[in-house]
Amino acid sequence: MSVASPAGTAVAPAVPEQPEAARVRRFWSSRRNTAALVALVVVAAAGALLYEESYIRSGHRAHAWRTWISDQLANRHLDDAWAIAGAAVLCALGLWLLLLAATPGLRRLLPLATADTDGLRAGLSRRAAAAMLRRAALETPGVREADAEVGRRKARVRAVVGFGDPTEVKAALAEHLSAERGRLGLVRPPMVNVKVKGKS
Amino acid sequence: MSRTAVNRTLLALVGLVLLAGGALLLAGGLDLNHRWHLGLPSDWTVTDPHHAVLAPADRVRWRDAGWWWPSVLAGLAAATLLSLWWLLAQLRRGAVDRIAVPDTDDIPVRVRGAALARAVAEEAEQLPGVSRARVRLLGSARHPRARLALTLEPGAAPGPVLRDLSAGPLTHARTSAGLAVLPAEAVLKVEPGPVPRVR
């Protein structure tokens, strides 16, 4: 995809993609919302139990909710449908939290190349990349309507030709978009897939 | 430890506890210990599918032991306080109040974080191609870092904007606060705007 530079490649060994790929550092989400939600649930549950245990310990009778829970736990066997469903839900929740803890998140941000900017890291939102591609498509002569979607590896541009030969418009569009793809400045620019429709 | 690291560690811990508990109960309910020869200790209640999830006899098993109540109350109190701290940590914005200017030991010089952030934002908005900039300084007084949200004008390219940003506002902020490094993170958006039509 990258255009080989005419000079200077002889000095560096011809591995243009490898160091480029190694430099990709995703943005890692702080997982603030999930953490707040889990912390809130744990505070509520542990706080309620703490209150109830000290309440019982100081000689009171347990509240109805506490009695209901202990009755349910005592009367349901492990092979009860509710017990199995509950255990499956616990497993799924646990896996989900582990997944959230281990993955970067922030999939809407594409890392920008910042090799020549000291100490600065930057990301471009996928929506912004799509807006740039759509704008470039609309600037191409002959394109009447355009729509762009940018994924993490692929981008799709759909254009409607207003005038001119669709084949020529498509060629011009592809050229224009490949220039715009470079202008995005991403560490790993998405592959741009162009679809052109004739005038409807 | 950064908030991200704390959050991810604690989420993984809670996830592991839930997964382990759920897996044990599921193993009990589906009789997996017997079917798959897991070899769980035979006095574990989860080895018998007809056992109650938590029988009263199991619940009060250690109630008469001297350590039981103190341990239960201490454990619950620790869990409550820890999770309360965790919850409150999410509400903090983490903006740095004052930045210590190094090499001014005889006269302690400090720069207000918000003022420096505003200066960076104002200078960034003057850059060609940038329509709006929001800047916050996070971290500690000695090791601040900047977080920027930039909105680009329609048609602007991110590459030159980032170079200008690094050479201009960020370098000025770094030198005026006397810092050796000022790590920065920028998130770029593009302003929706009219597209010049070619006819």
Q: Which tens digits make up the pLDDT trace of B74-92?
A: 999 999 999 999 999 998 8
How do beta strands B144-152 and B184-190 pair? parallel
Band the pLDDT of B197: cuts 50, 70, 90: low
Whether residue B29 is predicted with pLDDT greater than 80 in this model: the reply is yes
**ipTM surpasses cut 0.90:** no
Q: Per the CB < 8 Å rule, is B26 touching A84? A: yes
Q: What is the pLDDT of residue A23?
A: 59
Answer whether B176's CB lies under 8 Å from B110's CB.
no
Which of A41, A72, A102 is the last residue before a domain boundary?
A102
Q: Which fold is adopted by the domain B98-190?
A: Alpha-Beta Plaits (3.30.70)
Band the pLDDT of A82: cuts 50, 70, 90: very high
Chain A neighbors of B59, CB-CB under 8 A: 70, 73-74
Q: What is the pLDDT of residue B104?
A: 65
**B87 interfacial to chain A (CB closer than 8 Å):** yes
Provide the 10 A C-beta neighbour count for residue A170. Answer: 18
Q: Which residue has the higher pLDDT, A200 or B155?
A: B155
Average pLDDT over residues A126-149: 91
Render pLDDT for B15-24 as a digit per residue (tens, 0 to 9).
999 999 999 9
Considering the domain boundaries, does residue A5 fall inside one? no
Query: Who's near B121: CB < 8 A, 6+ residues apart?
Result: B133, B134, B135, B148
Considering the domain boundaries, does residue A9 fall inside one? no
How close is the nearest chain A Cα to the Cα of B93, in Å? Answer: 11
Structural tokens at position A134:
């759509």
The total domain count for chain A is: 2
Considering the domain boundaries, does residue A174 fall inside one? yes
Mean of all residue pLDDT scores within chain A: 85
Scan residues 100-139 of B and list those with Cβ closer than 8 Å to A. Answer: none
Considering the domain boundaries, does residue A91 fall inside one? yes
The residue in chain A having the minimum alpha-carbon distance to the alpha carbon of residue B7 is A35
Whether residue B101 is predicted with pLDDT greater than 80 in this model: the reply is no
Considering the domain boundaries, does residue A167 fall inside one? yes
Question: Residues A78, A131: one domain?
Answer: no
Scan residues 14-53 of B and list those with Cβ closer than 8 Å to A. Answer: 14-26, 28-31, 45-46, 48-53
Q: Per the CB < 8 Å rule, is A117 touching B162? A: yes
How close is the nearest chain A Cα to the Cα of B178, in Å? Answer: 15
Q: What is the pLDDT of residue A164?
A: 82
Q: Which of A28, A57, A92 sits opposite B69 (nearest CB)?
A: A57
Considering the domain boundaries, does residue A6 fall inside one? no
The boundaries of the domain holding residue A183 are: 123-197
Average pLDDT over residues A162-180: 89
